[in-house]
Structure 1
């Protein structure tokens, strides 16, 4: 089988969806993407693992990057794809984010002389732990492949520009006690009971809402897991509350961690995971031209995305792509073909006007 890049973008989306590519199993799709792009004469194509990068080399004054991941979450009895009478394409990965990948492929094949040089990045393992992320691997091994003045990550945003992204960190807030038989509880010290002030501080915390370049980033501080206890007749001697802090990109990871440590002063706080946020990146002329091409006001991205990896490389980036993000990862995942066509038309206009 070969990818048909000449077919309409909706049909191309369906073809991509019908090639299963659960995280760590992207090779068949990456092979198809690489083969299709190597047949395009105006592109230079490179590959690292299951990530494929294609670039124009026209000597334009600016270079922009269009990026999207090839992998999906596990299939939920929602393959093969199906197109209904209302123009909705149903199936695993339709929204997150093979519709965006189809847009990239159409533009890569058809824009031989865009007004800016373009790098098209197709990468693996976005949906699982960061250690496997293909964009992270490219940033570490081939940062020159990702170089540019501005980047668009085609994650689903319902075709709205979402600037930057929140940062995220997780900590374990820990308590200790003394183990005893629950029949003689006075001989012990209950570590779970000692966690009550942790939950009280979380319940009483007022999240910040931070405005940056006209976009408002709401923060969140929440318990997401509690661990403690040994058996139904044992006073526990340890307890840990895992707390997730989604922080505004006005803070660095270190500053966010210090804020969390201050909130839980008096408790042991252990960092378990962290990723930086990304500033909106809308001040660059290429970004302003892109927002103008979209034609609707941008908003803050209320999540973490791989735009942060571009920001770390000094490349301002935004999220923009077809599909309702609330449908991602669901059994009912679908995308309107009209929305995919709109995304393609917008990006084409931006790259050719």
Structure 2
């Protein structure tokens, strides 16, 4: 029964019915996550095989078809979040590669757990969008092989609200009281930092954090709810209960597909963009040549086309956009990836020594009466 439910959930992810995060929660509920991944992820590995830490739905041949044509399936360990993956590594799990979100790369790098990527060995490096080539380029070295990206922005009902301008400030519009929603995540503290003009929204001073707190407290009475379930948000937008919210491009695409009038802003302050890819572990046991073969297969434009059309995410490979379905690109709001990425504000890690302060600010706002 669990195998069937898992396959169905992955199918839903490919069709845009659920998000990767929701799939990970379902996998955890079914007992197939970090705790249960050993059932199929810790098989006896051959000396010439790879061990890869990754997300549910990314452990499939479509993500690296050229690799699978020549080699057996890697020994995959699934994770429900970047933090879970990091904890697994710190607990002793030794992958050769991991598919991580870029914001956690600094943590891996500072801990001495990963090696830089040898760009001379990347077949598709010159096809990667320039902004993504710079994202984790530190000390004249690249620390991640970029694969995919997605956006966070304001998604709204253009038939029910007419924004005066494209801005995140619509989520603070008093005239829309009770018809707005916000994401249930500490990242919104950093978003408030963007709007109050913080010098570095991921390393705010105490004064800036106080201003961000006041900004979020001003928003709180205007909100219908904080959302953690993408499905709940999409249903509220579909019904008109909510007319504008922080959301991801995949939600906009799904609602458009269902015939709901929906639009995704290009805020004047910038979209929030995440990107992810493969990192190479220092204490790897698999052959380095094999690791790079996997990375190159993962970065191919055909894989990017699959990511766009089946998972609803942008590809790091520029060539993927030339072969992807144009209607799908328009539905996702990424038909002009250069404009999107050049105007993007990339999501980063909150500075380690400030994470507790950020969490305290968000908890105070969320639970305030």
Same-fold status (TM-score > 0.5): no
Q: Which has the higher strand share?
A: 1
Q: Which has the higher helix share?
A: 2
Larger Rg: 1
